[in-house]
Structure 1
């Protein structure tokens, strides 16, 4: 218990609680249960993408194409629904998951087999995916009147007081908690990111592990693509433009180390919730939402600096122990 109280997650919980108190002092209705449920629902796409990004960053990689993956998948799903309104939602979901997985696999193969730096790969595919959206859509929008009621209604359907979108985010979080803690793949993500050279001697394939991290990230991006366009009932070229910054920010704020091998699923969730609360609170406290990107960027810099400082402190402790043993 004492260890948890000193952890990054406990600090984030404290910061979030203080933030809610400060917001409530200006607008008490913000912390009402119904409004907090709406805030969580608004944050669900970010939370889902942050969990996918977490496993990528744990392996010392980064996926900057998640928002473009989301946008391309969402546009294809919207166009399919507009052309064939009778296609069942389960088929749309399967298509979204499959498309996202393929795009994630493309990133993973180039990092694994071609040894291209992840940031270069995903910057390139980000641009390619955005370009494909323009080509297939001709720059045209797919609007709500072109979408079927079943298509747009699925993420909004209420179950036990929460929309399906929120339940999907909760389910994804539960799956990732289990995967990271209970499966060999989850342990491999940490091992590969913590020490790639040592991982090879334990029989782990570093490139293959990174490949599966990209596939997971891409799959969740594809899923979020359908949920996004269905919830907002619109699809266009610039869907989720710049959203990859928020996804990375959520991970870093949650304590996922850019150097790889360190961080928790809970931390990523708390990082996403922190940004979600900030985003929804800005209009309430009279701050322009256009400050959101600046706040996200500042949060990344502060979090990286905090992580680096913590890492140096641990290094000094290890050196002191070694000197004592000598």
Structure 2
């Protein structure tokens, strides 16, 4: 008598349809092209008004200042595509910059020691956020807002109102923030390398695409057997690591550090990500768009300085860009849903 072995039911797969994926890719390319176009127009108009804006030093300053923000935006993208957010990255940068600066002051510690310490601190902060959000189920907004204030308080306690001067920081570390390779500063090279590596991972590996699946439909991702908690924890851990690296680069770039030097940067990071086409509701966006968003926001700040406009307007413009980007995402989402619904009815 032959035994009949019952096969387990196949697990559903999370995969966007070809038409839906194509529409989303088209929208993303349009958004990124729009940011690039806005950058070109902004630079062209400013150069006409003040030709010195495009001087070699001016361009270098823009890319140097954008590098750290772009690095944070890449880490934030990993978190946002999973339908979460990290508001503590600015505080992590400040904590790392001061602690690492205090540790290396008056010593001959090299770049590797500084980077390792900064990354370790950032990873610890990211791990706490990730565990509370993924395994404890606490809303990301509550967790990261809480850790933002905890880290700020810890930073001020450690600093005791003191500051670190560039004269105390080893020259090897300062050269990382101000040196170059074949005429190209190290900071943009580091940011571009990280951006390309993370972008390639998200695009080419199944585990990378799972971040988008979680953001698109957590329930479908759960049914497909995707380890949601582990992926969300990984996203926060990566964001913390990049924030730690950014804090070390902040020290290398500026040398002089006070307590909490990056206060308010968490909003700039979120703005860069959303303006760059990463949907705040998750599941859509690229690290390339986020980096372009960081470059646009940094360029706006430089333009206002060159044109001698009140710095207040930078915050107002960033806020306006954020509102426009979120509104555009909502309109695009509704449009995509309408198009896909009509397509399903037609082929149903």
Counterpart in the other structure of 1:188:
210
Counterpart in the other structure of 2:82:
59
Closer, same or farther: CA 177–286 of 1 in aligned 2, 3 Å: same
- Counterpart CA distance in 1 for 2:226 and 2:299 is 39
- Counterpart CA distance in 2 for 1:73 and 1:232 is 14
- Counterpart CA distance in 2 for 1:246 and 1:80 is 28
> TM-score of the superposition, structure 2-length normalised?
0.89
Structure whose CA Rg is larger = 2
Deviation string for 1:68-94 (max 9, x for gaps)?
011111111011012x51222211111
- Counterpart CA distance in 1 for 2:303 and 2:184 is 20
- Counterpart CA distance in 2 for 1:48 and 1:119 is 21
Residue 318 (1) aligns with residue 301 (2): no
- Counterpart CA distance in 1 for 2:33 and 2:199 is 17
Counterpart in the other structure of 1:14:
37
* Residue ranges of structure 2 left out of the alignment (5+ in a row): 1-21
The one of 157, 160, 177 equivalent to 1:135 is 157
- Counterpart CA distance in 2 for 1:142 and 1:179 is 37
- 8 Å CA contact 1:245–1:296 kept in 2: the answer is no
- 8 Å CA contact 2:109–2:170 kept in 1: the answer is no
Counterpart in the other structure of 1:265:
287
* Residue ranges of structure 1 left out of the alignment (5+ in a row): none
- Counterpart CA distance in 1 for 2:78 and 2:179 is 30
Aligned length: 325
Closer, same or farther: CA 62–3 of 1 in aligned 2, 3 Å: closer
> TM-score of the superposition, structure 1-length normalised?
0.95
Structure 1 stretches of at least 4 aligned residues deviating more than 6 Å after TM superposition: none
Paired residues for 1:258-297 under 5 Å: 258-297=280-319
Closer, same or farther: CA 99–236 of 1 in aligned 2, 3 Å: same
Deviation string for 1:31-62 (max 9, x for gaps)?
34553233111110000000000010000000
- 8 Å CA contact 1:5–1:11 kept in 2: the answer is no
Cα deviation for residue 230 of structure 1 reads 2.1
Deviation string for 1:206-253 (max 9, x for gaps)?
121111000110001001101102211122223111011110000000
The one of 63, 81, 96 equivalent to 2:118 is 96
Counterpart in the other structure of 1:45:
68
Closer, same or farther: CA 21–123 of 1 in aligned 2, 3 Å: same
C-alpha RMSD over aligned residues:
1.8
Counterpart in the other structure of 1:25:
48
